[in-house]
Amino acid sequence: MFRSIQTRLLIIIFVISVAAACSDSSSGPDLDNSPGQVSLTVSGDVQGEKTGMADFYGGEPGGQGIHYWELSFNDFSPQTYSLQLSLTDFDEIRRPSPGSYEIGFEPGNPFEEQGEPLFFGIYTHIPNGSFSNAMEFDTGLFCVDEGPRGGTLVITGSSSEAVSGSFSFKAANYDFDDSGNCILQGEIEVTGEFNARARQF
């Protein structure tokens, strides 16, 4: 009797182990719970080699009718930078498929049906983890006489679980004087590669 029960337990344990192994192997390496990764280089008025976590997400915050989809990158402990490459539109935005996309800023795009999606880039430099001294560089064209902004995002893989690719763009930090004139305060160039995971929270 005892041997019969022991045999049955061994069979149940074996079946559970096989089922778990099959479940893990079917998911593949891109479906585990490890965080996404990014590596990037910043040059210009801010310089550095950075690594960090990478994720993507989208939605309609607050139900205000403006949709967004965003790639987000940052390090932590301490946080020394953050980077967002984002799309916004009045219509629902689907996850971009593999291809090459412009990074820049165009007031009429992507709020129009015509034209390719245009990503807006914001890089925030956080020196020594001090948010009070943070400097924000973006791909806007507010100082139009100060040279080109923007660049290219290349998506090489895109699924509901992971988005991978590379990017290269120029961005600027600027302010305005009392007369409304644009004052350029710094310029950077950012290049990097990433494998982002779907945001889990």
Convert the pLDDT of each residue in 25-53 to its tens digit.
333 334 466 789 999 999 999 999 999 99
Answer yes or no: is pLDDT of 113 > 90. Answer: no
**Residue 14 sits in the same domain as residue 110:** no
**Residue 173 sits in the same domain as residue 122:** yes
For the entire predicted model, the pTM comes to 0.78
Position 161, amino acid? E
**Residue 6 sits in the same domain as residue 97:** no
pLDDT at 15: 32
**Residue 125 sits in the same domain as residue 193:** yes
**Residue 96 sits in the same domain as residue 48:** yes
**Residue 54 sits in the same domain as residue 138:** yes
Spatial distance between the Cα atoms of 135 and 120, rounded to a whole number of angstroms:
17
Position 196, amino acid? A
**Residue 126 sits in the same domain as residue 87:** yes
- Beta-bridge partner residues of 162: 197
Looking at the structure of the chain, the number of domains it has is 2
**Residue 57 sits in the same domain as residue 70:** yes
pLDDT, tens digit (0-9, with 9 covering 90-100), for 49-74 = 999 999 999 987 656 778 889 999 99
Task: List the helix and strand counts (H, then E) for the chain.
Answer: 1, 10
Spatial distance between the Cα atoms of 132 and 7, rounded to a whole number of angstroms:
66
Spatial distance between the Cα atoms of 108 and 115, rounded to a whole number of angstroms:
10
- Domain limits at 10? 1-30
C-beta neighbour count of 21 within 10 angstroms: 10
**Residue 12 sits in the same domain as residue 105:** no
**Residue 55 sits in the same domain as residue 94:** yes
Position 22, amino acid? C
**Residue 109 sits in the same domain as residue 131:** yes
Confidence grade of residue 128 (pLDDT, cut at 50, 70, 90): confident
**Residue 46 sits in the same domain as residue 18:** no
